[in-house]
Amino acid sequence: MGLLTKPIKSLDDLFVHTLQDVYYAEQQLTKALPKMIAKVSDPMLKKGFETHLAETKNQTKRLEQIFGLIGEPAKAVTCPAIDGIIDEANAILGDAKDQDVLDAAAAAAAQAAEHYEIARYGTLIAWARELGRDDTVQLFEQTLAEEKAADRKLTEVAEARLNRVAATKA
């Protein structure tokens, strides 16, 4: 059996599948973020993760709203890409022997997740427009704006402090 739960014959099928994929991704990130929050020490990074955890929970609800709008049950399908990003983050945080290096690694790992989400939501917006599902576009755009803001904030914290502090460690 392939990764896909049902045959994908149309752009509409692909849209629904990708919606189920991001629904899974948001759920997994909701589970992963508290572990990241517990492990990092930089107060701004911790605060940023806490804010994004709340946003992520809300994004999951927003996806449920979108499922409702298109008349599909809210269902998650395994997304091996986000599982891989989270597995890699856990592995690197487990291996980091220095707290400051761990903080820099955590910010970088989180940015990999944000970039995945940005790619997915960008595609979903394009497909929603193509399929005439303009009612969903604004909801996707709210989430995309949050993902981009989270990514920007991580860049700022990493470049302003985390990377520099980590660079002083031998």
Stretch that binds Fe ion, among 75-83, 88-96, 112-120, 134-142 (CB under 5 A): 112-120
Question: One symbol per residue from 23 to 62: x for binding Fe ion (CB under 5 A), - otherwise; what is it?
Answer: ---x-----------------------------x--x---
DSSP label at residue 3: S
18 counts as binding Fe ion under rule CB under 5 A: no
Stretch that binds Fe ion, among 61-69, 84-92, 140-148, 153-161 (CB under 5 A): 140-148
Kindly tell me which residue out of 86, 117, 128, 144 binds Fe ion, with binding defined by CB under 5 A: 117
Rounded Cα distance between 60 and 62, Å, is 5
151 counts as binding Fe ion under rule CB under 5 A: no
Rounded Cα distance between 129 and 137, Å, is 7
Q: Which residues, 6+ apart, have CB-to-CB distance to 5 below 8 Å?
A: 17, 20, 77
Which residues in this chain contact Fe ion in the complex, by CB under 5 A? Answer: 26, 56, 59, 114, 117, 147
